[in-house]
C-alpha cells in the first residue's frame, strides 16, 4: 500500500474516532510511521486529506450502493427487491470505510458545509431520490401499486437510516438492526407490491 493511501486510511480512522478538529497532522503522520513534514509531500494539509477521503468514499458508495443516476437493474419481484436492498444496507452498515466515513460525517456535519451537503445527500435526499426512481420504475412495470413514489421512498428509507444510525452508536445491535430493516422491507412489500 502506498504512503499516500496509508495516510488516508489512518486519517479516516483518526477523524472518525477524534473528529476532524481533534486530529492533528502530526498524529496522522505518526500513525503512518513518517514525520509530520513528510506528510506534506503527499498532501498540502489536513483539509486536502479530508477532501480526498470524501471523494474516495463517494466513489466507493456510488460503485457498491448506487445513486439516483446509478440504480442498477430494476428488481422484478418482492424477493429480488428485498435481496438487493438488503445487500445495499449490509454494505452501508458493514463496509469499514463507509462506516468510518459516516461517523466522521455525523460528527462534522455542523462545522463543514461540504460535509453537511454530503451527509444530507447520503442520509436523506440522495437515498430517497434513488429509491423513488426504483419504486417508480417498479410501478411502471406493474410490480408496485400506483402511489406517490417520493412518499413511498421516504416511508421505505427512514426506518433503515434510523437503524443504521443505531448500529453505528451501538454496534452490538447490528444484527438486530438488520433483522428489523428486513422485517420493515417485507412489510413495505406486502403493503405496496403486487403478489409475485
DSSP string, 35-95: -HHHHTTT-SSHHHHHHHHHHHHHHHHHHHT--SS---SPP-SHHHHHHHHHHHHHHHHH-
**What pLDDT digit, counting tens, does each position of 136-159 carry?**
999 999 999 999 999 999 999 999
- pLDDT at position 195: 78
**What pLDDT digit, counting tens, does each position of 167-196 carry?**
999 999 999 999 999 999 999 999 999 876
- The set of residues, in sequence order, having a beta carbon less than 8 Å from that of 65 and lying 6+ positions away, is 88, 91, 92, 98
Looking at the DSSP assignment, which residues form a beta bridge with residue 144? 193
* CB-neighbour burial class of residue 22 (10 A; exposed 0-12, middle 13-18, buried 19+): exposed
Q: What is the CATH number of domain 65-192?
A: 1.10.357
Task: Domain ranges for the chain, please list them.
Answer: 1-52, 65-192
- pLDDT at position 196: 65
Q: Work out the end-to-end distance of the chain between its first and last CA atoms, rounded to an integer number of angstroms.
A: 47
- The set of residues, in sequence order, having a beta carbon less than 8 Å from that of 11 and lying 6+ positions away, is 23, 28, 46, 49, 50, 53
Q: What is the CATH number of domain 1-52?
A: 1.10.10.60
**What pLDDT digit, counting tens, does each position of 28-81 carry?**
999 999 998 888 999 999 999 999 999 999 999 999 999 888 999 999 999 999
Amino acid at each position: 500500500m502506498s504512503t499516500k493511501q496509508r495516510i488516508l486510511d489512518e486519517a479516516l480512522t483518526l477523524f472518525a474516532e477524534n473528529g476532524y478538529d481533534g486530529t492533528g497532522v502530526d498524529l496522522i503522520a505518526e500513525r503512518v510511521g513518517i514525520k509530520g513534514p513528510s506528510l506534506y509531500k503527499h498532501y498540502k494539509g489536513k483539509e486536502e486529506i479530508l477532501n480526498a477521503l470524501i471523494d474516495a468514499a463517494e466513489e466507493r458508495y456510488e460503485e457498491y450502493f448506487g445513486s439516483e443516476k446509478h440504480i442498477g437493474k430494476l428488481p422484478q419481484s418482492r424477493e429480488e427487491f428485498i435481496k438487493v436492498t438488503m445487500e445495499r444496507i449490509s454494505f452501508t452498515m458493514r463496509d469499514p470505510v463507509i462506516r468510518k466515513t459516516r461517523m466522521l460525517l455525523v460528527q462534522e456535519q455542523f462545522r463543514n458545509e461540504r460535509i453537511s451537503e454530503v451527509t444530507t445527500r447520503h442520509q436523506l435526499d440522495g437515498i430517497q431520490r434513488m429509491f423513488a426512481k426504483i419504486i417508480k420504475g417498479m410501478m411502471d412495470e406493474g410490480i408496485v401499486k400506483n402511489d406517490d413514489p417520493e412518499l413511498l421512498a421516504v416511508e421505505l428509507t427512514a426506518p433503515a437510516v434510523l437503524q443504521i444510525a443505531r448500529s453505528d452508536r451501538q454496534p452490538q445491535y447490528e444484527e438486530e438492526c438488520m433483522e428489523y430493516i428486513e422485517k420493515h422491507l417485507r412489510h413495505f412489500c406486502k403493503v405496496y407490491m403486487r403478489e409475485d
